């Protein structure tokens, strides 16, 4: 569909919903004009329009938390857009994975906290790759490589087994979180998308 079929408002703007392309989680609600959309389509990077500054806003330009745009869709009235993105770091300026983190009503559906945690960690770990190893534990692990990360995984796996033999559930949860975190760092070090592990697990479940 050509962009000239879109219905911009009287200011030449259109709301943009930004969603995580992997999880479907809503990350940000913002605005775009024709120039922002054109640049997004050309670069596959999130570009928006800042109404307060009156200029284009290139996501991650100052924070480093940019977003790779894998698809752009419009609603049935063609007056709203959705950027489907792979985020490299938190979407919100507060450091939260999503701008929508203040709850007015708690969901009565299963929380899915593990999925959200993995999505947050995977993007944060990727963003730490370029950080100073002297100030970032993740950057230090990535610098030291697979041998160092593998050693940590071995240590954390042992601690999970020990915790499992004790009656304290909180200890087992804590150690399991440490193990999962270091596994995600290892996958990042090897350049393996955690979704590849998920796909393999699903394939196993079908056999």
Q: CATH topology for 113-206?
A: Helix Hairpins (1.10.287)
Specify the pTM.
0.60
Low-confidence ranges of the chain (pLDDT < 70): 1, 106-112, 207
Instruction: Give the tens place of pLDDT for each residue, 51-104.
Output: 999 999 999 888 888 999 999 999 999 999 999 998 888 888 888 888 988 878
Q: What pLDDT shows up at residue 110?
A: 59
Q: CATH topology for 3-87?
A: Ubiquitin-like (UB roll) (3.10.20)
Is the Cβ–Cβ distance between 175 and 156 less than 8 Å? yes
Task: Classify the phi-psi angles of 8: left when phi > 0, otherwise alpha if psi is within -120 to 50, otherwise beta.
Answer: beta
> Counting beta carbons within 10 angstroms of the beta carbon of residue 106, is it exposed (0 to 12), middle (13 to 18) or buried (19 or more)?
exposed
> Hey, where are the domains in the chain?
3-87, 113-206
């Amino acid at each position: 569909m050509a962009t000239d079929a879109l219905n911009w408002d009287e200011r030449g703007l259109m709301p943009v919903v930004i969603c995580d392309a992997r999880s479907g989680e809503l990350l940000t609600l913002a605005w775009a004009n024709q120039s922002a959309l054109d640049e997004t389509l050309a670069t596959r990077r999130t570009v928006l329009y800042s109404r307060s500054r009156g200029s284009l806003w290139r996501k991650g330009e100052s924070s480093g938390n940019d977003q790779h745009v894998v698809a752009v869709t419009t609603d049935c009235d063609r007056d709203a857009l959705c950027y489907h993105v792979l985020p490299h770091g938190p979407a919100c300026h507060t450091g939260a994975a999503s701008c929508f983190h203040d709850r007015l009503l708690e969901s009565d559906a299963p929380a899915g906290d593990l999925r959200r945690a993995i999505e947050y960690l995977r993007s944060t770990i990727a963003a730490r790759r370029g950080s100073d190893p002297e100030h970032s534990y993740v950057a230090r692990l990535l610098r030291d490589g697979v041998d160092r990360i593998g050693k940590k995984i071995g240590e954390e796996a042992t601690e999970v087994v020990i915790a499992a033999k004790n009656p304290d559930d909180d200890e087992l949860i804590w150690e399991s979180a440490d193990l999962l975190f270091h596994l995600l760092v290892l996958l990042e070090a090897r350049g393996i998308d955690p979704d590849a592990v998920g796909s393999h697990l699903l394939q196993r479940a079908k056999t």
